[in-house]
Amino acid sequence: MDSALRNFEKRQKAVVTKHRKLAQGYTTRINRNGTIEHRPLRRVPAAPLRVMLLLAAGGLAFKGLALAVLGEADYLGHLTTLAAGSLPEQIGGWLMTADPVTHWIAQQLQPLIG
């Protein structure tokens, strides 16, 4: 009796889950047997895009802060050291190369730093 109840609850949970997915949109198809079936639409969640944008903004802010704190000459010195290193260091140096946005962020942070 206990296993029958567990099986029923498992099937009920699957039906509720499918109905929630179908409520967000579905497509109707006819399968090989000729029966009509509804399948939920696949949606790409917005969270990965949001995370990528936050990582990019954080990286730009870090680059700007590093440029503002170290100054142009020391920052370029660190970049040349990274460019002469191993492959991961070279990739890091390429990513940390100062671009116009980094210079603008550094100019905005300069009065706050001192």
What residues does each domain of the chain span? 2-40, 47-113
pLDDT in tens, the chain (114 residues): 789 999 999 999 999 999 999 998 899 999 999 999 998 888 777 788 889 999 999 999 999 999 999 999 999 999 999 999 999 999 999 999 999 999 999 999 999 887
Distance CA 93, CA 13 (A): 51
User: Quick one: which H or E segment has residue 26?
Assistant: strand 26-30
Query: For residue 92, what pLDDT is reported?
Result: 93
CA proximity to 94, closest of 71, 64, 69, 63: 63
Q: How far apart are CA 25 and CA 22, in angstroms?
A: 5
> Cα separation of 41 and 27, whole Å?
6
Burial 93-114 (b: 16+ CB within 10 A, else e): beebebeeebeebbeebeeeee
